[in-house]
Amino acid sequence: MEINNAQQLVNNWIKEHGVRYFNELTNMALLTEEVGELARVVARTYGEQSFKENETPDSLGEEMADVLFVLLCLANQTGVDLQEELKKSIEKKTLRDAKRHRDNQKLK
């Protein structure tokens, strides 16, 4: 799925089921909350923490999707074309970091 299509899918869902977008500040708080939930799963899956009895280790993808959903909401309501912005970001990183990581002794 193209990112533009994902943005449209989320927009259609909001119109059909969500009534309207939460305001930008609320969605920023929700994004932070969702990133925290993702961090908890990563810490328990790849770090030293263990899962609680009611937590499931198979929710990594679900938490990532929740982060993406809210990010797409924010992009939609602020008029950001994430597909275009990601393309520009990759181009910027490619120019800036063309040799940086290859020359980093810590990565070898």
CATH number where 69 lies: 1.10.287.1080
Q: Is the pLDDT of residue 84 over 90?
A: yes
In this structure, is residue 65 part of a structural domain? yes
In this structure, is residue 33 part of a structural domain? yes
The residue among 4, 76, 80, 66 whose CA lies nearest residue 31 is 66
In this structure, is residue 21 part of a structural domain? yes
In this structure, is residue 36 part of a structural domain? yes
In this structure, is residue 85 part of a structural domain? no
Q: How far apart are CA 54 and CA 85, in angstroms?
A: 38
Q: Is the pLDDT of residue 54 over 90?
A: no
Residue 41 class from Cβ within 10 Å (0-12 exposed, 13-18 middle, 19+ buried)? Answer: buried
The count of structural domains within the chain is 1
In this structure, is residue 15 part of a structural domain? yes
Domain that holds residue 38: 3-80
Q: Using one digit for the tens of pLDDT, what is the confidence trace for 20-45? A: 999 999 999 999 999 999 999 999 99
What pLDDT, on the 0 to 100 scale, is given for residue 48?
94
